Amino acid sequence: MSAGAIRRAAVIGTGTIGAGWVSTLLARGVAVAAYDPGPDSAGRLRAAVTGHWPTMRLLGAPPRPDFGLLRVLDDPATAVRDAELVQENGPEDEALKRELIAELDAAAPPGAVIASSSSGLPPSVVQAGCTRHPERVLVGHPFHPVHLIPLVEVVGGRGTGAAFTARALAVYEWLGKRPIHVRHEVAGHVANRLQAALWREAYSLVERGIATVADIDAAIAHGPGLRWSVLGPFVNQHLSGGAGGLSHTLAHLGPPMVQWWADLGTPTLTAELGAALVDGVRAELGDRADADLAAARDRVVVRLLAAKATEEALP
Ligand SMILES: NC(=O)c1ccc[n+]([C@@H]2O[C@H](COP(=O)([O-])OP(=O)(O)OC[C@H]3O[C@@H](n4cnc5c(N)ncnc54)[C@H](O)[C@@H]3O)[C@@H](O)[C@H]2O)c1
């Protein structure tokens, strides 16, 4: 059995992200105890998992979700009682998360990893209320849609033990995820900071009237985005240097890039700019339905993941 194998998990908060974790866990045959205080949480969760399943099937899951593995419970303490992984997905509210994680810490077995899906809260903040075993509390930040996108960012806080960070990385890998270890907590972790850097310049280009929303989307989706989904920014830059690789690229194109940095914008996200972005997206999409667009995106991502899996040369 792999180092990261688990049999029982608890998923606390089963909205958009929590439901994605439940599908991921059920597809791997893990028994899930779920808790969410919202109305009809059991019905909503089953509907969400059923909705994910056509995609899960394409990813190799069994024909139907095994709802025999899923228990939806009325209180979080009971849900985490025998869990090996506790994945917390409550609202992104600092005080609520601190209190909720402390409650989970008080009830979960000492060896369980308690991971918060928080998009931006540092793990030291979410573990601050824990009095029992703060060393097993960390951030395990997934990407939407969680049942499809492999990335999980694992971030330890001041009180997190290295053994639990290693355990979380192993468990996520066993679940079929592609975890990375963020070495120091920082607002937004890594991937959202990278996205924020790109959005900052994209918003600025619209603000300055240099390109339309549709043209910027085309520039990424039909340009560097195609390469970025196969190889990351560093390896792509290495390959663009020819025989000299990254050192040639840095010597040749590094100095002009440093000049561009000085010209990059810092947009002011005013109501007017927000409205221009929204109008730009509307103009780009015309009468396409968002649900059709999301379904098409997910089908393409499934095919891309399958194609990448066949290429042994890729890292
Ligand atoms: N949506 C994204 O793209 C995304 C991506 C990665 C991470 N996240 C993070 O995941 C977490 C959940 O986000 P979401 O988008 O699923 O939000 P959501 O609003 O869809 O779900 C939140 C759920 O938490 C439940 N809840 C409320 N109080 C609770 C409590 N005390 N205990 C347990 N559950 C409670 C709500 O009923 C709701 O179902 C947030 O921390 C967010 O930052 C979101």
User: For the chain, what are the domain ranges?
Assistant: 8-182, 191-309
Ligand 1 atom 24, closest CA: 90
Taking the centre of ligand 1 as the mean of its atom positions, its distance from the CA of residue 96, in whole angstroms, is 11
Supply the mean pLDDT for the chain. 97
Angle at 133 between CA 22 and CA 37, to 5 degrees: 40
Strands 151-156 and 137-142: antiparallel
Angle at 12 between CA 11 and CA 13, to 5 degrees: 115
pLDDT at 2: 78
Q: How many CB atoms lie within 10 A of CB 131?
A: 8
| Contact between 121 and 71 (Cβ < 8 Å) | no
| Contact between 21 and 45 (Cβ < 8 Å) | no
**Residues 19-50 pLDDT 10s:** 999 999 999 999 999 999 999 999 999 999 99
Confidence of residue 3 (pLDDT cuts 50, 70, 90): confident
Pocket test for ligand 1, best of 45, 46, 89 (most atoms within 8 A of CB): 89
The set of residues, in sequence order, having a beta carbon less than 8 Å from that of 39 and lying 6+ positions away, is none
| Contact between 2 and 170 (Cβ < 8 Å) | yes
Taking the centre of ligand 1 as the mean of its atom positions, its distance from the CA of residue 90, in whole angstroms, is 4
| Contact between 97 and 116 (Cβ < 8 Å) | yes
Ligand 1 atom 8, closest CA: 119
Determine the average pLDDT of the residues in 201-212: 98
Amino acid found at 97: K
Confidence of residue 1 (pLDDT cuts 50, 70, 90): low
CATH superfamily of 8-182: NAD(P)-binding Rossmann-like Domain (3.40.50.720)
Q: Could you identify the atom of ligand 1 that is nearest to the CA of residue 36? A: 34
Amino acid found at 65: P
Q: Please report, rounded to a whole number, the percentage of residues in the chain having pLDDT higher than 90.
A: 99
| Contact between 106 and 77 (Cβ < 8 Å) | yes
**Contact residues of ligand 1, CB 6 A cut-off:** 12-18, 36-38, 89-92, 96, 100, 117-119, 141-142, 144
Determine the average pLDDT of the residues in 83-97: 97
57/304 Cα distance (integer angstroms) = 15
- Give 191-309's CATH code, choosing from 1.10.490.10, 1.10.1040.10, 1.20.120.80, 1.20.1440.230: 1.10.1040.10
**Residues 56-73 pLDDT 10s:** 999 999 999 999 999 999
3-state secondary structure of 307: helix
| Contact between 154 and 181 (Cβ < 8 Å) | yes
Ligand 1 atom 12, closest CA: 89
Residue 148 main-chain phi, psi, to 5 deg: -120, -40
**Residues 168-186 pLDDT 10s:** 999 999 999 999 999 999 9
Taking the centre of ligand 1 as the mean of its atom positions, its distance from the CA of residue 93, in whole angstroms, is 9
Q: Could you identify the atom of ligand 1 that is nearest to the CA of residue 18? A: 16
Taking the centre of ligand 1 as the mean of its atom positions, its distance from the CA of residue 15, in whole angstroms, is 5
Residue 25 main-chain phi, psi, to 5 deg: -70, -45
Encoding tokens for residue 196? 């924020």
Q: Could you identify the atom of ligand 1 that is nearest to the CA of residue 12? A: 33
Q: How many CB atoms lie within 10 A of CB 9?
A: 29
pLDDT at 130: 96
Pocket test for ligand 1, best of 88, 119, 139 (most atoms within 8 A of CB): 119
